[in-house]
């Protein structure tokens, strides 16, 4: 049985005062929730204060990116040991915005994933096709390439989470249908089985991301291979994010 993970990717949003307000609302909202793992990924400069704000609660802390070197002359970058020092347990890697706007590619992401897991973090590794790739029938090939480029047996399965995020669904209000998402999640599960083995593949969480909202979370999360959500826009309001976490709690309680 995989524990669902609901992760909030705050992207480049929120001043410290706004971030503190948001995390306070999330902390209060998840007080009575059980059986769901909750992760918030604020901008770097808020990591230390948000770590303080979630102390003693079930809310975990992650970052949105990391460099693969431990330290060095890499202006503007941040290392895995720095994230661990700030209280992070997770890091998002390979988000489509990093791939698209910052030219992050497979070989770079392979190094980042290894740096993260070797440094003690859980890597939330994102994969997913663009609209053009989907419409030309290349979804499976693109997802397989993203998986193969950065994920291998040397990546410990217990430090790995995969996020399937169709690029055309991110921030657009267009969500993959539960069937569309399930189809790709099952494909990813199969790829994990071929890299590790079936039992290990069954233990790895595969999140869906792309316009997840309180109104569509439950049907997505009810799919057998959807083990949580990576939420962008809807994680910026505590009420919406908590409603998605509650949807995950409901699906856990449902007989499968
Ligand atoms: P969205 O973003 O929920 O705003 O579509 C998801 C993501 O980019 O992780």
pTM of the model: 0.97
pLDDT in tens, 56-87: 999 999 999 999 999 999 999 999 999 999 99
- Structural domains in the chain plus CATH codes: 5-253 (3.20.20.70)
In ligand 1, the atom with minimum distance to the C-alpha of 235 is 3
What pLDDT, on the 0 to 100 scale, is given for residue 256?
Answer: 53
Query: 179-186, long-range: CB within 8 Å, 24+ apart, which pairs?
Result: 181/208, 181/220, 181/223, 181/226, 182/223, 182/224, 182/225, 182/226, 184/139, 184/140, 184/143, 185/223, 185/225, 185/226, 186/224, 186/225
Q: Are 93 and 123 spatial neighbours (Cβ–Cβ below 8 Å)? A: yes
Rounded to 5 degrees, φ, ψ at 87 are 105, 10
Q: Give the residue whose CA is nearest to atom 6 of ligand 1.
A: 232
Task: Pull the structure tokens for residue 79.
Answer: 């290392």
Torsion on CA atoms 160, 43, 246, 212, rounded to nearest 10: -80
Q: Give the residue whose CA is nearest to atom 1 of ligand 1.
A: 232
Q: Is 132 a catalytic residue?
A: no
pLDDT in tens, 183-224: 999 999 999 999 999 999 999 999 999 999 999 999 999 999
Q: How far apart, in Å, are the Cα atoms of 26 and each of 6, 121, 150?
A: 12, 22, 32
Q: H-helix or E-strand containing 95?
A: none
Rounded to 5 degrees, φ, ψ at 209 are -140, 145
pLDDT in tens, 120-169: 999 999 999 999 999 999 999 999 999 999 999 999 999 999 999 999 99
Tell me, using a 6 A CB cutoff, whether residue 174 lines ligand 1. Answer: no
Q: Is 13 a catalytic residue?
A: no
């Amino acid at each position: 049985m995989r524990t669902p993970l609901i992760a909030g990717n705050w992207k480049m949003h929120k001043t410290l005062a706004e971030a503190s307000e948001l995390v306070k609302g999330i902390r209060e909202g998840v007080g009575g929730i059980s059986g769901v793992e909750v992760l918030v990924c604020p901008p770097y400069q808020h990591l230390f204060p948000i770590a303080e704000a979630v102390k003693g609660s079930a809310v975990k802390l992650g970052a949105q990116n990391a460099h693969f070197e431990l330290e060095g002359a890499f202006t503007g970058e941040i290392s895995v040991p720095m994230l661990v020092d700030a209280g992070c347990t997770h890091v998002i890697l390979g988000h489509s915005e990093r791939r698209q706007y910052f030219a992050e590619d497979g070989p770079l992401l392979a190094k980042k994933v290894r740096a993260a897991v070797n440094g003690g973090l859980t890597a939330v590794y994102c994969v997913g096709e663009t609209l053009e790739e989907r419409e030309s029938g290349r979804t499976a090939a693109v997802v397989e390439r993203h998986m193969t480029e950065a994920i291998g047996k040397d990546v410990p399965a217990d430090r790995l989470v995969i996020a399937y995020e169709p690029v055309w669904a991110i921030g657009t209000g267009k969500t993959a249908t539960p069937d569309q998402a399930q189809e790709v999640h099952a494909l990813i599960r199969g790829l994990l089985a071929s890299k590790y083995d079936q039992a290990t593949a069954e233990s790895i969480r595969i999140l869906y991301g792309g316009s997840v909202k309180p109104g569509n979370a439950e049907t997505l999360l009810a799919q057998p291979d959807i083990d949580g959500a990576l939420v962008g826009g809807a994680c910026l309001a505590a009420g919406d994010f908590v409603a998605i976490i509650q949807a995950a709690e409901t699906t856990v309680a449902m007989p499968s």
